[in-house]
Amino acid sequence: MTIQHTVVFALHHAEGSSEEKTFLTDAQRSLTAIPGVQQFRINRQVSPNSALRWQFTMLFDDQAAYDAYSSHPDHVAFVESRWAHEVRDFQEFDFVAGD
């Protein structure tokens, strides 16, 4: 059961700013180093119908891998030190393939 973990979000930083770029670069470096993370991607929203401009998406082999990621010290540290201060709004979606 592969899990696709996605989070769509808006930052406090101005679009195109160096702070925005640094956040995205640091997130990719930090989160992809955590065991179990597969196919990490950063996508930019192009529709004017959503104020949530960015998406992180990644795959996990199973619930155990996803749980290990969620509780991993590097993930927790990123959320506490960066995400909580730099993200203005977000929604999280976790999917498994439909039958």
Looking at the domain that runs over 3-95, which CATH code has it been given?
Answer: 3.30.70.100
Helix (H, G, I), strand (E, B) or coil at 77: helix
| Assigned token pair, 54 | 């960015």
Task: Report the chain (99 residues): mean pLDDT per 10 consecutive residues.
Answer: 96 96 97 97 96 97 97 97 97 88
Report the pLDDT value the prediction gives residue 99, as an integer from 0 to 100: 65
pLDDT digits (tens, 9 = 90+) for 57-72: 999 999 999 999 999 9
Query: Using CA atoms, how far apart are residues 17 and 4, in angstroms rounded to an integer?
Result: 29
pLDDT digits (tens, 9 = 90+) for 46-56: 999 999 999 99
Taking CA atoms, 93 is separated from 13, 15, 45, 56, 57, in Å, by 23, 23, 15, 10, 9
* Residue located via tokens 């401009």: 53
Report the pLDDT value the prediction gives residue 54, as an integer from 0 to 100: 98
Domain ranges in the chain are 3-95
Q: Measured on CA atoms in the order 8, 14, 20, 23, is the torsion positive or negative?
A: negative
